[in-house]
Amino acid sequence: MLSSTSVRSYLHLHFLVMIWGFTAIVGLMVSISPVALVLYRTLFAAIGLGIVILSFKKSFAAAGRDLVKMLGVGFVLSGHWMLFFASARVSTASVCLAGMATTSLWTSLLEPLVNKRKISPLEVGLGVLAFAGLYVVFRFEFDHALGLGLALASAVLAATFTVANSRLVQRIDAWVITFYEMVGATLFSLLFLGISESLNWNNGAPFIPASGDWIWILFLAFVCTVYASTMATQLMKQFSAYLINLTINLEPVYGIALAFFIFGEKERMTQGFYMGTLLILLAVLLYPLLTTTVLKKSNRKIIEAGK
């Protein structure tokens, strides 16, 4: 039976996922390019985190090897967000969010390799179920193939980011991890913005925000990043990277509902799309149920063997 603390933490995780479900929508409400959006988001997030760390008199100190790792993970995170926002721009927020549901499948393959444990058939099976839901979605929405491809690439980077963080958080403060990752993401975004502008990859989208863009940029930086990302990193001490990412599969459910509420008919999808998201939701709900059942059987065998 789950403790009240575990239940609160799990509900907190779902609240964070709901916030992330709103990020694709924000990406459609600003005028600047996805690369510039990530640059401003990470720059202000790094500043905000630095202020928080100083306010709580925490140390910025980190071993040289860990510092390099955190900056490197920031590069990965920056790439993930660029692809994420680009996916929403070339398709819809709903398509982008549904594509991100494959993150659990990639995590089920990456986490065992990194942590040197056997791949769990249960985790792979539920990841495949989530992927099957995605297949159903795009069987009816194939005209958004480019958006899907970008979202899938973003999902792979998201899985890499989460697995890496699940190891770092075991020995480094979550606020410090997120700060250095935002610094790394800012540096990579700045570099990539220069490259994309020189090669005109942004299709004429401006890199200087309009006055109305700032409220959404600050929302992304302080609510979706400083608060949500740091709290999610902290929760990795209680939950596995796989459970974190499987719960993130609810991001399209929350995000699609919010997108339809905000954009109306523009975000209305076919019946098949919603059938697919139900499969994704099923995978999320089955995970805690099945893992609890498997754990009980395993403990029962251990007890019986000891008699």
Are the C-beta atoms of residues 38 and 82 closer than 8 Å to each other? yes
Torsion, CA 214, CA 252, CA 241, CA 172, rounded to 10 = 10
pLDDT in tens, 247-284: 776 777 788 788 878 877 666 667 777 788 788 778 76
For 97, what's the count of Cα atoms within 13 Å in the CB-facing half-sphere? 36
Are the C-beta atoms of residues 252 and 98 closer than 8 Å to each other? yes
**For tokens 């190891």, what's the residue?**
167
Close Cβ partners of 76 (under 8 Å, ≥ 6 residues apart): 157, 160, 161, 164
| DSSP strands (E only) in 222-275 | none
CA distance 134 to 123: 17
CA distance 291 to 203: 47
Backbone φ and ψ of 203, nearest 5°: 55, 35
CA distance 132 to 162: 22
CA distance 66 to 81: 22
pLDDT in tens, 173-191: 888 898 999 999 999 999 9
Q: 3-state class of 105 per DSSP?
A: helix
> pTM (2 decimals)?
0.81
Are the C-beta atoms of residues 171 and 28 closer than 8 Å to each other? no
3-state helix, strand, coil in the chain (%, to 5): 85, 0, 15
Are the C-beta atoms of residues 233 and 178 closer than 8 Å to each other? yes
CA distance 217 to 209: 9
From first CA to last CA, the distance across the chain in angstroms is 24
Close Cβ partners of 230 (under 8 Å, ≥ 6 residues apart): 49, 174, 175, 178
Are the C-beta atoms of residues 96 and 152 closer than 8 Å to each other? no
For 182, what's the count of Cα atoms within 13 Å in the CB-facing half-sphere? 26
pLDDT in tens, 34-45: 999 999 999 999
Q: Residue 1: what pLDDT?
A: 46
Q: What is the pLDDT along the chain (307 residues), one digit of tens a residue?
A: 456 667 788 889 889 988 988 888 888 899 999 999 999 999 999 999 999 889 888 888 888 899 999 999 999 999 999 999 999 898 888 888 878 877 877 887 788 888 777 777 887 788 788 778 878 877 776 777 888 889 989 999 999 998 888 888 888 888 889 899 999 999 999 999 999 888 887 777 888 899 889 999 999 999 988 888 778 878 877 887 667 767 776 777 788 788 878 877 666 667 777 788 788 778 766 766 676 666 556 555 544 555 5
CA distance 157 to 81: 9
Work out the burial of residue 65: count CB atoms within 10 Å of its CB; fewer than 13 is exposed, 13-18 middle, 19 or more buried: exposed
CA distance 236 to 65: 21
